[in-house]
Amino acid sequence: MTLTLAIHSSKGGTGKTSIAVNLAVAFASAGKDTCLIDMDLRGPSLCSMFKPKTHFWINDFLSGKCNLKDTLTDSKKDIGTSGHLYLSFSNPDIGEIRDLVSKDRNWQAGALKALMNGKRELAEENIDVTILDTSPGVEYESINAVAASDMVIIVHNDTKACHDCTEQLIKGVYTLLDKRCAIIDNMYHGNCLDIKEKNRYGVPVLTTIPCMCDIATRSKNEILVHSDPEHLFSKSIMTIKDKIEAMQ
Amino acid sequence: MDSELLEQVVNNLKEINSKLDRLIVQIECRDETTSDKDKIAAYSLDVLTLLSLPDHLRTTATTLFEIGPATADEVANVTNKERAVESNYLNQLVRMNNVKKYREGRKVYFRINDSLKKK
Ligand SMILES: Nc1ncnc2c1ncn2[C@@H]1O[C@H](COP(=O)(O)OP(=O)(O)OP(=O)(O)O)[C@@H](O)[C@H]1O
Ligand SMILES: [Mg+2]
């Protein structure tokens, strides 16, 4: 069975994309056939890091113009993972993004149906793990991704606003959709060794990652979990992967 | 005098009953043969509407999303509720235009309402 993870956060810039990409590479490196989908249709990221080899975007799939398979680029050889690493890109064209923002709820309803079908499509292909990177907050596409997932990974930073909004999201969205959740504390400024908290809002905290300039600068050219497995960030990603697997 | 009044009441009730019956038939026919024009007015089920549904209907709708088109029996198997209960919930969702009901052979199927045709 395919495990589908939605990486979401209440606020922007908490490290969702960094964690989604590294987690996908970690799963693929461990031999899992993995699919990473850029569901951040409002602020595409994947196309800035990898090169698509197909002319279909995830946007086309959500609009019913192609199958999910048609949008996938296999990066297994480029990155050198043992499992397949399929990437589905979101269209960075500004006209496309303007168009998306003006889509109505009927389109979003169709997009959710498409995502559920896509999930079945990937299960038939025996994909082990699917990771959905999302836009922050209550955006249609993000909540669609949450609804299509088996588990929500909440990437959190240590601000009051993020805390308050996360609690709301857990109560008013994730729980209502019956989703299992887990929190990752990212960009933590205190001493990580002091952390004792295992649970917050009734949700397990998987790990705490410190704020390190190193992570931001090196991530421009590397996927740390691949290029430097001994890095603290990479080790945190492996912890996250192991804990998610243990929870299944 | 009294019996005359009673008879009149009974007759009125009968008339109301038959009107209701006709209405029900009309509504059921309309459900089964929604024309393309009606479809445009119909809501399909988007995720924020899903979130605003009461708990019992949301579970039913989510299940239908997960398993795709299904009979009330199949939905009830997943939710562990009685078939009659799920059938009731599904029909409520049909009346709210979130779910579509159709026949295939002798079975009645339900599916999440389609969204508009894309341009
Ligand atoms: N632990 C960390 N310490 C320092 N910098 C980090 C850390 N984690 C991520 N970053 C950096 O923070 C920036 C934002 O990260 P990222 O793009 O992953 O966030 P995001 O949640 O996906 O943002 P958005 O909400 O805009 O999609 C990036 O430059 C990234 O390298
Ligand atoms: Mg991002």
Return the DSSP state at B42. Answer: S
Q: Is the CB of A211 under 6 A from ligand 1?
A: yes
Residue of A184, A177, A176 lying closest to A203 (CA atoms): A184
State in Å: Cα A215 to ligand 1 middle: 9
Binary contact (B115, A109; C-beta < 8 A): yes
CA distances (Å), origin A199, targets A49, A62, A150, A163: 34, 35, 20, 13
With a 6 Å cutoff on the Cβ, whether A15 touches ligand 1 is: yes
Q: What is the CATH number of the domain that holds A107?
A: 3.40.50.300
Q: Rounded distance, CA A209 to CA A232, Å? A: 8
**What mean pLDDT do residues A130-149 have?**
97
Nearest ligand for residue A8 CA: 1
Confidence band of B17 (pLDDT split at 50, 70, 90): confident
Listed in sequence order, the residues at least 6 apart from A87 whose beta carbon sits closer than 8 Å to its beta carbon are A35, A36, A37, A38, A46, A50, A52, A72, A73, A74, A75
Give the domain extent around A28: 3-246
Measured in Å, residue A12 CA sits from the centre of ligand 2 at: 8
**Total tally of structural domains belonging to chain A:** 1
Inter-chain residue contact A140 with B113, CB threshold 8 Å: no
Domain of B68, in residue numbers: 2-116
- Residues in chain A within 8 Å Cβ distance of B114: 110, 113
Q: How many domains are contained in chain B?
A: 1
Q: pLDDT band for position B37 (50/70/90)?
A: very low
Distance of alpha carbon B80 from alpha carbon B74, whole angstroms: 10
Q: How many CB pairs under 8 A join A and B?
A: 67
- The whole-chain average pLDDT of chain A stands at 95
CB contact under 8 A, A109 and B45: yes
Distance CA A239, CA B113 (A): 41
User: What pLDDT sits at residue B60?
Assistant: 97
Q: Please indicate whether residue A139 or residue B39 has the higher confidence score (pLDDT).
A: A139
Å from B15 to nearest chain A CA? 41
Among A154-158, B50-54, B110-114, where is mean pLDDT lowest? B110-114
Q: Which amino acid is at A202?
A: G
Determine whether the shortest distance from the Cβ of A16 to ligand 1 is under 6 A. yes
A181, burial (CB in 10 Å: exposed 0-12, middle 13-18, buried 19+): buried
Answer whether A205's CB lies under 8 Å from A243's CB.
Answer: no
Q: Cβ B46–A116 below 8 Å, yes or no?
A: no
3-state secondary structure chain A: CCEEEEEECCCCCCCHHHHHHHHHHHHHHCCCCEEEEECCCCCCCHHHHCCCCCCCCHHHHHCCCCCCHHHEEECHHHHCCCCCEEEECCCCCHHHHHHHHCCCHHHHHHHHHHHHHHHHHHHHCCCCEEEEECCCCCCHHHHHHHHHCCEEEEEECCCHHHHHHHHHHHHHHHCCCCCEEEEEEEEECCCHHHCCCCEECCEEEEEEEECCHHHHHHCCCCCHHHHCCCCHHHHHHHHHHHHHHHCC
Shortest-distance Cα residue to atom 3 of ligand 1:
A211
Reference B113, options A63, A149, A140, A105; nearest CA is: A105
- pLDDT tens-digit map of A64-74: 999 999 999 99
pLDDT band for position B14 (50/70/90)? confident
Question: Which CATH number is B35's domain given?
Answer: 1.10.10.10
Binding site membership of A68 for ligand 1 (Cβ less than 6 Å) = no
Question: So what's the pLDDT on residue A158?
Answer: 86
**How close is the Cα of A19 to the center of ligand 1, in Å?**
8
Provide, as residue numbers in chain A, all residues whose Cβ is less than 8 Å from the Cβ of B58.
176
Element (H, E) at B58: helix B55-67
What is the ipTM metric for this complex?
A: 0.82
pLDDT of A39 > 70? The answer is: yes
Enumerate the β-bridge partners of residue A204. Answer: A199
A43 lines ligand 1 (CB under 6 A): yes
- The per-residue pLDDT for B75 is 97
Q: Which residues of A touch B (CB under 8 A)?
A: 63-65, 105-110, 112-113, 116-117, 120, 140, 143-144, 147, 172-173, 176-178
What is the model's pLDDT at position B40?
39
pLDDT tens-digit series, residues A108-117: 999 999 999 9
